[in-house]
Structures are given as structure tokens and as C-alpha cells.
Amino acid sequence: MMNVKNLVKKYDGKTVVNSVSFEIPKGKVTSLIGPNGAGKSTVMGMISRLIARDAGIVMFEDQDISSWKSKELSKRLAILTQTNNIQMKLTVRELVTFGRFPYSAGHNTAEDEKIIDQALAYMELESIQDQFIDELSGGQRQRAYIAMVIAQDTEYVLLDEPTNSLDIYHASKMMKIVRRLCDELGKTVILVLHEINYAAFYSDYICAFVDGKIAKMGTVKEVITKENLAEIYNVDFEIMEIEGRPLSIYY
């Protein structure tokens, strides 16, 4: 269970996250949305211990996240950001192997190898498992990182803008993968997303940020309404219902 209370972050005296409190529903997909600079990525950084917080509490499984042992936490919670530039010559399989590092510290057992094989198969990467990461396309690289997260075998998966710089085909494929992580593998997934419609179609809960505060939080149907979105983004919206989910139109 993850419970956030009164989270605050300031950069140079400017408050970017202002007293944010929420609870992450377990076993569901939760998307953090909002305009640029609303603080959603900063919140993501703070709940994943990548960014130091200035005030507030992040309770993870009844213990504050800063009092967790880094290694133990890495078996429970995985975070994938967009700043992945590797200068090393690394193959897809070797990258996925790093996902087992919290468990085996570099000395993999047969069990670890099996999990790596499964992760590669799950992401359909077997045919390119010996290619170098820096020679892959953006979509393939993203899938390789997801495979690594799967190999890490954590209950919680945090993804910071997983569709960023992917084309429509790969982005929607990525969102289907997110859905499968939750439905098939039973993981709790937390996303930062820019595209409202991806958030509306593939997540269970939505948390909308404006100016460092939570403007709305609830199920997709509760949050994605004409009035709410107009308030959050300051743009006029039309909402259509497709497959029982609200599709937003803006221009």
C-alpha cells in the first residue's frame, strides 16, 4: 500500500509541489495527468525516492519510504524514467539481467535466468536479445526497459511518461503492455502521462495536478468530464463516449 501525505517540494524557493496527499489503490493502474509544470513528475520522483522531498510523508507498506533499505525497496518497487542514456555496450539480454540485481547482486542462479527468459518472452524480445541497446529503435528500447522492470519482479511499477517520443503505434502498444502488467501480472502501476486519452482508456484511476496541487482524483469517469478538464487545462473540451470510456476532444 502506498500513502502520501502533505508532500512538498521547493526549487529555489518556488513551491512546485504543494501539500499533496493521496493514496494509490493497490492492483490498479493510476495515471497522473496535468499541464506542464504541474508537478506530476516531481511527485513521481518523490514517491520513488529519486527526488528528495522537502516535507511530507510517503508511506509504503506501513513504513516511510526513506527508512526502507534501498535494496529491499528495489524488490518491491520499480521506477522507469525517461533519462536512460547508457554509454556502455550492453545487449538487450544483459540489460534485462540487471533487473535481477537486487536479488542476486550479479551472480545469477538458474531461477534468475528463467525469470529473465520469461521477461524477454513476455516483451517479445527473444529475437533481438543479443543486439546492443544503442542500436535499437525507440520502441524496442522502451520494451527492453519494461522487460527489465518485469525481471525485477516488483509489486509496484512506476513509469514516468512511458509513451514519450514514441509514435502512435508504439505508444498504444506500450499502453496495452501497461494494462497487461496490471491485469495479467497483478502489478500496481503508476504512470505520468501527457495524453489524456491514453490515461482515460488504459487506467483505472486518474489523479490530475494543477499548480503543484491535486485538482481531481478518482475513477476515470469521475475525473474525465468536460468541466473538470476545462478547469485543469484551461482549454475547451468535448467528451465522447467510446467503448464505455470517455474520449476527450480538444483543439
Residue 106 CB, nearest distance to other proteins (Å)? 7
- Residue placing its CB nearer to other proteins in the complex, 67 or 87: 87
- Residue placing its CB nearer to other proteins in the complex, 89 or 114: 89
- Residue placing its CB nearer to other proteins in the complex, 72 or 167: 72
DSSP character at residue 132: B
Residues 6+ apart with CB under 8 A from 4: 20, 21, 22, 23, 24, 43, 47, 56, 57, 58, 59
Residue 85 CB, nearest distance to other proteins (Å)? 7
- Residue placing its CB nearer to other proteins in the complex, 8 or 90: 90
Q: What is the 3-state secondary structure (H, E, C) of 152-211?
A: HCCCEEEEECCCCCCCHHHHHHHHHHHHHHHHCCCCEEEEECCCHHHHHHHCCEEEEEEC
- Residue placing its CB nearer to other proteins in the complex, 51 or 59: 51
Residue 72 CB, nearest distance to other proteins (Å)? 8
- Residue placing its CB nearer to other proteins in the complex, 149 or 229: 149
Residue 25, all three cell numbers:
489503490
Residue 33 CB, nearest distance to other proteins (Å)? 22
Residue 158, all three cell numbers:
512506476
Binding site for other proteins (CB under 8 A): 48-50, 70-75, 78-81, 83-91, 93-95, 98-99, 101-102, 105-106, 130, 152
Residue 129 CB, nearest distance to other proteins (Å)? 8
- Residue placing its CB nearer to other proteins in the complex, 49 or 216: 49
**Cβ pair 192, 208 in contact under 8 A:** no
Q: Is 9 helix (H, G, I), strand (E, B) or coil?
A: strand
Shortest CA distance to 189 belongs to which of 146, 221, 224?
Answer: 146
Phi, psi of 10 (to 5 degrees): -125, 140
Residue 122 CB, nearest distance to other proteins (Å)? 19
Phi, psi of 197 (to 5 degrees): -70, -35
Residue 126 CB, nearest distance to other proteins (Å)? 12
Residue 19, all three cell numbers:
501539500
